[in-house]
Structure 1
Amino acid sequence: MTDEGQGSVAATSGLARRLCALALLAASGGLLASACASNESSLFIRMRMAPTEDCSSITCGPGEEFWTADEVDAAYDFSHSATLLVGNQIVQRGDSDVLRTETSRVQLYEAEVRVADLAGTPMTEGYVVPIAGLVDPGSGGDAGYNCTEVLLIDGATMDNLRFQAAALERDIEVVATVVVRGRTLGGQEVETAEWSYPVRVCFGCSPCVDTAPPSCCQSSASEECQELDEIERTCSGRVGPKDCRDLGETCGEHLDGFGL
Structure 2
Amino acid sequence: MNASRGLATRLCALALLTASGGVLASACADNESSLFVRMRMARSGDCTVSCSPGEAFSTQDAVDAAYVDSHSATILVGNQIVERGDSDVLRTETSRVQLYEAEVRVFFMDGQPVNEGYVVPINGVVDPGTSSDAGYNCTEVLLLDGATMQDLRAQAAELNGGDVEVVTTMVLRGRTLGGQEVETAEWSYPVSVCFGCSRCVDTIPPICCSDSTSEDCKDQEEVEGSCPGTRGTQDCRNLGQTCAQYLASFRF
* Same fold flag (TM > 0.5): yes
Moved over 6 A (4+): none
State the distance in 2 between where 1:21 and 1:58 align: 47
RMSD: 1.9
Partner residue of 1:247? 239
Distance 1:133 1:252, change over 3 A: same
Larger radius of gyration, structure 1 or 2?
2
Partner residue of 2:40? 48
Check if 1:188 corresponds to 2:185: no
Partner residue of 1:7? none
Check if 1:125 corresponds to 2:116: yes
Which of 18, 22, 46 is 2:19 aligned to?
22
| Residues 85 and 145 in structure 1, CA contact (< 8 A), matched pair in contact too | yes
In the alignment of these two chains, the number of paired residues is 236
Identity of paired residues, percent? Answer: 68
Check if 1:235 corresponds to 2:232: no
Partner residue of 1:110? 101
| Residues 20 and 36 in structure 1, CA contact (< 8 A), matched pair in contact too | no
State the distance in 1 between where 2:76 and 2:185 align: 14
Check if 1:65 corresponds to 2:43: no
Which of 88, 99, 102 is 1:97 aligned to?
88
Unmatched 5+ residue regions in structure 2?
1-15
Which of 200, 203, 217 is 1:208 aligned to?
200
Distance 1:154 1:259, change over 3 A: same
Which of 148, 152, 159 is 1:161 aligned to?
152
| Residues 35 and 188 in structure 1, CA contact (< 8 A), matched pair in contact too | no
Unmatched 5+ residue regions in structure 1?
1-18
Instruction: Tell me the CA shift for residue 219 of structure 1.
Output: 2.1
**1:255 is paired with a residue of what secondary structure?**
helix
**2:106 is paired with a residue of what secondary structure?**
strand
1:145-164 CA-to-partner distances (Å, cap 9, x unmatched) read 00000000001000000100
**1:156 is paired with a residue of what secondary structure?**
helix
Distance 1:20 1:123, change over 3 A: farther
TM-score in terms of structure 1 length: 0.86
Partner residue of 1:199? 191
